[in-house]
Structure 1
Amino acid sequence: MTKELRRLTTIVILMFLALFASTSVIQFASVDALNQHPENRRTLYDSYEVQRGSIVAGGERIATSTPSDDVYAWQRTYVDSAMWSPVTGYATVFPSASGIEQAMNAELSGTADTAFFSRIEQILSGQDPRGSTVELSLDPAVQRAAFEAMGSLKGAVVAIEPDTGRILAMVSTPSYDANALAVHDVDALNATYTGLEDDPNQPLQNRAIGGNMNPPGSTFKLVVAAAALASGEYTAESTLPNPASYKLPHAPNMVYNASHGTCGPGDEVTIADAIRLSCNIPFAELAVELGDEAIREQAERFGFNQSFTPPLASTPSSYPSGLDDAQTALSGFGQGPLIASPLQMAMVSAGIANGGTVMNPWMVDDVIGEDLSVQQSWDPTQFGQAIDADVAAAIADAMVSSVSNGAASGARIDGVEVAGKTGTAENDGSDPFSLWFTGFAPADDPQVAVAVVVEDGGGQGQSGSGNTIAAPIAKKVMEAVLGR
């Protein structure tokens, strides 16, 4: 063999090896990413040749595929869609989807790695291809209680098992009908989607985990109290000055309690009573004493500044760094440049209820194959230890007092000791307040932690409060869990 021929042979072999390596990467390492790519039309058409798996909650099929007489072969159908659509999302004939339909697309379409042997069995047995069933952790009775309690209000509800992080309910209102986005008529689909996108109430947003998030108001006092008690320099009985007004440091603005008076009688007030009565001034003072860095670090131990994917991707709740003293004072009662989702505030209450341990939130129990085999399952995982158990117990006691004889009385349940904290958060100028409640029940054996936000003042502008509007919603959700 001549020298030139040997060189040519070597080049051809190297080119073959490079081609083999690149195709191997595409076929194996990159297959999931390519299958889920939004511009991959082939996968879209192929997916409609497969009977997409069902989405199930509490044994009820809330999203199914039925035969269609057009090119797409299968029609996606959603049951009680307004109640479930922020969770299920939608799957359209365009390469787009949302919610569980998007997050669990590989499983629902039968293309996940965990469904490999099921696909082989279907091929060998001559069965039509079929996707896997996704079983959610959400409880239909709790979901309905939350949805009906929200009614025509704008906002969201999240309910979590404190000791597992398992999500029992996730409601966002106003909602939409996912069936209108599952139609195979492209013109009708476009018209519906455009209308939803242009709707000023933004029904496509899942307010439970993101969207245009709200300041958490006085519910954030739980985080500030945790930072104080965890420092070792304060206890629940530590006292703070109790004036009727407070001037922000290095700023002309004044801060007042909701009553525009002092936080109860006396020249000083305990941290526990400031939680019970939901007073702003003591927590503004406490926040400045602690400093923004200590508060931010405590907030992050509860999950702030981090996204969670249970499997829906949440927008991080934000406690910014580098706040000045005036901003830090405002953050002491959940105002200023911080925002939170109901998921995050439910995690705060769940962490307190769980002795200071914060669990990662999750909402998919199992993925089930056509042969009823469990292809995937989820178990509780710990996010971190936010506070010690004794600190959690002290804050929980103050929350119980807030419900039994304080500012969160709207969450009382006969015969059940409830721990809770309300929030009535101001927005820009004369904009309506954002109304909050977060808490858990029973206080001595927590089965559920819940967070509620109601936007636009619950239709009452700046007259509504977290106690009168958000707390009764949370009460109904907790009752639904305890009555299961």
Structure 2
Amino acid sequence: MNSAIRRLAVAAMILMLALMANSTYLQAFRANEINGRNDNNRVRDSQFSVNRGPILIGSTPVAQSKPSNDRFKYQRTYPSGPVYAPVTGFYSYRFGRAGIELTMNSELNGSDPSMAFRRIIDVISNRPQQGGSVTLTLNAAAQQAAYKGLGSKTGAVVAIEPKTGKILAMATTPSYDPNRLASHDSTKVDAAWKSLNEDKDRPLSNRAAQELYPPGSTFKLVTAAAALSSGKYTPDTKVSSPAELPLPQTTVPLVNEDGKNCGGSNNATLTVALRYSCNTAYGSVGLALGPDALREQAAKFGFGARPLAELPSVATSQFPGDPNEPQTAQSAIGQFDVRATPLQMAMVAAGIANKGEVMKPYLVQNVKTPDLKTVSETKPESLHQAVTPQVASQLTAMMVDVVNNGTGKPGQISGVQVAGKTGTAQTSKDRPPYAWFTAFAPADDPKIAVAVLIEKADIARDDIAGGRLAAPIAKSVMEAVLSQ
């Protein structure tokens, strides 16, 4: 009998210790994770009664909380709605958080460890908890120009300050109004959520950073960078540029879009080949360099890494792992399995603009307590030296030639030298190609680098081209920054 009691006592003690260990583990190591879960109703109810801090551009709120006459006490509002939605995201009782509202949640609701002293003061003085403010790097004029330029098209714009990595604009269309999801009327919120998720154009997706696309001829900048960096090429090196380039292992040749040789020559220079966006020339360069050189150069610009932790679900741009020779030629012109975000292609342009140094892109300028004490400030950080300053200078001159004399003419700005590259990426016969343009200006002292992607526009397939569709939008965004 005593033996049975002892076994029962030991078992009870083990269970008690296990319970204490699990409780300690949850409170000490997983508290932040559990508190941050969108489905944690207790925490969610508590947080909705907090005066959540604003998301700012300069001193202007693009997300803020206002007093409400219901059990939640505060209503989250978005004054500019769809313009900033891809960045701000939404704050919804029913469907959680997205964008900056998600990644900076603890700062915005005041629970972050950096605001611990403030919370102690609030408890002592019997003041309700209040969130801190998050100031973004976005430039209001550039953001408005990007959103207006996209209009009814499906696409995205990203603009970066080359010397720092500050993101000056990040717009996508179609967008959505976060106010619909932040409403306290659950019936209306459910209807809005259903409508947004059933929309085939996916307005909730941030195309600028969360979607991957074939970059098309904008990737020729990476191929040109690899060629110039190899020491085997200069901007004046002549390369094979016929109307059709025979490829090994296949009877299907690589062809130029217009069915002609490059600029009237079967042996164009690298500069002329970039000017006319010559597929056969850069395909032949890619074959000569090989896939490893292209992959390594792409990685130096940021391919293969997640570039922006301040937003959730940012996609990683990709260069194929082991392409054969025909696939390598296609990859060299941004086709086959090469995939990139508009953010990534803006980073390529910004790296060239910044003398070959790619800066880490960032969206959050600083975080402040409710009494305006700065608790964190983002400092510019270098990611890679993608190319040498000499190669960057050569690429800049080649890109200026594209805008002055080639496919990038619609990106010209009066009185300002613009460096740019167009792209038209083929996908499948049943959908139109993607139109791209990436550029920076002024070419001799860059203040802004931009990438524009048009995924879909309501025009004839044969009229789709990067210069025609994307370059004018990039021009308006650059002008918005340069005019300040």
Which TM-score band applies after superposition, normalised by the shorter structure?
A: over 0.9
Single out whichever of 323-332 and 436-445 deviates more from structure 2. 323-332
User: Do residues 201 (structure 1) and 207 (structure 2) align?
Assistant: no
Q: Which residue number corresponds to residue 281 of structure 1?
A: 280
Matching of residues 388-407 of structure 1 within 5 Å: 388-407=388-407
Residue 302 of structure 1 deviates from its aligned partner by 0.6
Partner AA of 1:410 in structure 2: P
Distance 1:304 1:466 in 2: 22
Partner AA of 1:98 in structure 2: A
Matching of residues 222-371 of structure 1 within 5 Å: 222-313=221-312, 314-371=314-371
CA deviations on 1:441-470 (whole Å, 9 max, x unpaired) are 000001000000001256332322100110
Partner AA of 1:53 in structure 2: G
Distance 1:110 1:29 in 2: 20
SS of 1:455's partner is strand
CA deviations on 1:406-441 (whole Å, 9 max, x unpaired) are 111111011111100000111111421100000100
Distance 1:382 1:18 in 2: 47
Does the CA contact (< 8 Å) of 1:342 and 1:453 recur in 2?
Answer: yes
Q: Which residue number corresponds to residue 418 of structure 2?
A: 418
SS of 1:251's partner is coil
Single out whichever of 95-104 and 144-153 deviates more from structure 2. 95-104
SS of 1:459's partner is coil
Residue 27 of structure 1 deviates from its aligned partner by 3.1
SS of 1:282's partner is helix
User: Do residues 443 (structure 1) and 431 (structure 2) align?
Assistant: no
Distance 1:435 1:143 in 2: 20
Does the CA contact (< 8 Å) of 1:237 and 1:271 recur in 2?
Answer: yes
Distance 1:364 1:40 in 2: 26
Note closer, same or farther for the CA distance 1:386–1:123 as it changes in structure 2 (3 Å cut).
same
Q: Which residue number corresponds to residue 80 of structure 2?
A: 80
Distance 2:272 2:415 in 1: 23
Partner AA of 1:433 in structure 2: P
CA deviations on 1:299-328 (whole Å, 9 max, x unpaired) are 111111221224013101111211111111
CA deviations on 1:148-200 (whole Å, 9 max, x unpaired) are 11111110000001011000100000101111111122222111111111101
User: TM-score when scaled to structure 1?
Assistant: 0.95
Distance 2:16 2:308 in 1: 41
Note closer, same or farther for the CA distance 1:338–1:201 as it changes in structure 2 (3 Å cut).
same
Which structure 2 residue ranges, 5 or more long, are not aligned?
1-6
Distance 1:183 1:153 in 2: 28
CA deviations on 1:13-54 (whole Å, 9 max, x unpaired) are 999887766545433433221211232111111101111111
Q: Which residue number corresponds to residue 107 of structure 1?
A: 107
Note closer, same or farther for the CA distance 1:367–1:296 as it changes in structure 2 (3 Å cut).
same
Note closer, same or farther for the CA distance 1:69–1:337 as it changes in structure 2 (3 Å cut).
same
Distance 2:453 2:473 in 1: 10
Residue 354 of structure 1 deviates from its aligned partner by 0.7
Which structure 1 residue ranges, 5 or more long, are not aligned?
1-6
Q: Which residue number corresponds to residue 472 of structure 1?
A: 472
User: TM-score when scaled to structure 2?
Assistant: 0.95
Note closer, same or farther for the CA distance 1:14–1:154 as it changes in structure 2 (3 Å cut).
same
SS of 1:86's partner is helix
Distance 2:122 2:12 in 1: 39
User: Do residues 38 (structure 1) and 38 (structure 2) align?
Assistant: yes
SS of 2:305's partner is coil
Q: Which residue number corresponds to residue 49 of structure 2?
A: 49
